Amino acid sequence: MKVEEKLYNNRYMVDEGHPHIAIVAKGAPSPALKSLVTVCPAGCYAEEEDGSVVVTPDGCLECGTCRVICAGTGELQWDYPRGGYGILFKFG
Ligand code: SF4
């Protein structure tokens, strides 16, 4: 079974209007922020035509990788989702 197929088994409770990750704009995105486009295992980050980076945390796995990578840049606001929201892992 492919990783993508396993990830598809997970479910995500979207907390409408309360994204748990947000990008804090500080001019041009740092290389660290840009790397998240390829590093995030859930594909939550995308680069726009103007070079800016956007995040859509709906399918976030809460692995914390982006939080660690951008810890020194101040470009990410990262919290766990509120109780009852976020990823619901399905194992097996
Ligand atoms: S915590 Fe992990 S899955 Fe969620 S947005 Fe960051 S890198 Fe992607």
pLDDT for 30-84, tens place per residue?
999 999 999 999 999 999 999 999 999 998 999 999 999 999 999 999 999 999 9
Neighbours of 11 (CB within 10 A): 10
Domains and CATH numbers, the chain: 3-88 (3.30.70.20)
The model's confidence at residue 85, banded by pLDDT at 50, 70 and 90, is very high
Ligand 1 atom having least distance to the Cα of 67: 6
CB 69 within 8 A of CB 32: yes
Is 58 touching ligand 1 by the criterion CB < 6 Å?
no
Token pair recorded at residue 69: 């990578």
CA angle 34, 86, 22 (to 5 degrees): 35
Please tell me the distance between residue 55's alpha carbon and the centre of ligand 1 in angstroms.
Answer: 10
